[in-house]
Amino acid sequence: MKLKLAPLAVLLLLLVAFKSSEAFFSGRITYKNSFTTLQGEDISAKLAPFLGAEQHYYISGANYKTYNEKKQLIQLYTGTTGEYIFFKDGQVVQKIDATKPSAAEVKVTPLPQTATILGHACKAVQIEADGVTTVYYYAPDVKVKAEDYANHAFGDWNTYLKATQGGLMLKYVTTNPKVGYVMMGEATAIQPLKMSAAEFSQASVERQ
């Protein structure tokens, strides 16, 4: 005997199947950085040696790590501990409890601007915190589970991912009047990779 499903039941099953098969990004995004003064003068040659000309960003599940153009580890976050670690010259400089907010008040504003970066249609959102304004261009089809970072309050990362529904940035423009410069980063390559949680342990990254 064949079981007949009502049209509504069929639709619900299709929606559940679509949701469960939703693809989340795991891999590397490479960004090229540039810097200007608040007046628009290019000062990349001056700041890039200190703040990085490139950022190689690896993310998978609830973990991420970044390296500069010299293949030096810069930052590491592991979701199981909620700990953010900043490195310089291969050494741990600071460990931060990423569950603690870094700003008292954060303002999120969806923007009408769009951009196409590496073939990905991007939307824009602006986030303001502690006098610093960042405009992010994010790709809805290059995303992680926002829930994996729900407790990552440091740097307002959870606020950003909630606003983008997990969409990762492919371009950002940060205006910081306190330090007197604008930092811009744009993705130059996106490489999907299968990565295990073990690749984001502190012991593992320090051996690389």
CATH of the domain at 133: 2.50.20
Does residue 40 contact residue 184 with C-beta atoms inside 8 Å? Answer: no
Examine residue 64 and state whether it is found in any structural domain, yes or no: yes
Examine residue 5 and state whether it is found in any structural domain, yes or no: no
Structural domain range at position 203: 25-207
Length of the chain: 208
Helix (H) / strand (E) element for 95: namely strand 91-97
Q: Which residue has the higher pLDDT, 101 or 190?
A: 190
User: CA torsion, points 103, 175, 160, 170, in degrees to nearest 10?
Assistant: -150
Which residues touch 7 (CB under 8 Å, ≥6 apart)?
none
Q: Which residue has the higher pLDDT, 73 or 9?
A: 73
Examine residue 115 and state whether it is found in any structural domain, yes or no: yes
Where residue 119 falls among pLDDT bands split at 50, 70, 90?
Answer: very high
Examine residue 17 and state whether it is found in any structural domain, yes or no: no
Examine residue 120 and state whether it is found in any structural domain, yes or no: yes
The span from the CA of 164 to the CA of 39, in Å, is 30
pTM: 0.86
Using DSSP's 3-state secondary structure scheme, residue 113 falls into: strand
pLDDT at 9: 52
User: For 69-96, what is the mean pLDDT?
Assistant: 94
Domain count, the chain: 1
pLDDT reading at 21 higher than 90 = no
Examine residue 9 and state whether it is found in any structural domain, yes or no: no
The span from the CA of 65 to the CA of 27, in Å, is 11
